[in-house]
């Protein structure tokens, strides 16, 4: 079983970002994301990080999974965990933002459909879910 563990060291966050890119994350992860993001590792199979969202009290969720592992964070248990962490960080809305230029690619469409089935809504920033619900 894998567990979510926060990555606190800036060096370790930078290494996680490099690994996420090697695993196929669809864009370059900027150095300011290493510094300002709140990073977690999920065992040795995935990384997630949170950045300020497009609106006050919103937060963006980014994730990268090791090749061949699929979207390991997509289980109901893990989706609840990432939402709870976002709430603890002060967010009332959690976004999964699609990188510009990737909106029409298969993984982005699949992710949006996957989240929509699980109750997420969509706007021009990406998919989102309201937090603090029942």
Q: Which two tokens stand for residue 110?
A: 């699949």
List the domains of the chain with CATH numbers.
4-130 (3.40.630.30)
Digit-coded pLDDT (tens) for 29-57: 999 999 999 999 998 889 999 999 999 99
> pLDDT tier at 98 (50, 70, 90 boundaries)?
low
């Amino acid at each position: 079983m894998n567990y979510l563990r926060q990555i606190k060291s800036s060096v370790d966050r930078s290494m996680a970002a490099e690994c996420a890119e090697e695993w196929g994350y669809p864009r370059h992860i900027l150095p300011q994301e290493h510094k300002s993001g709140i990073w977690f590792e999920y065992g040795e199979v995935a990384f997630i990080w949170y950045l300020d969202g497009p609106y006050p009290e919103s937060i963006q969720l980014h994730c990268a999974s090791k090749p061949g592992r699929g979207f390991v964070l997509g289980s109901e248990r893990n989706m609840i965990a990432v939402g709870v962490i976002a709430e603890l960080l002060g967010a009332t809305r959690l976004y999964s933002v699609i990188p510009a230029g990737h909106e029409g690619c298969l993984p982005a469409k699949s992710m949006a459909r996957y989240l929509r089935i699980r109750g997420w809504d969509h706007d021009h920033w990406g998919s989102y879910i309201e937090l603090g619900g029942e």
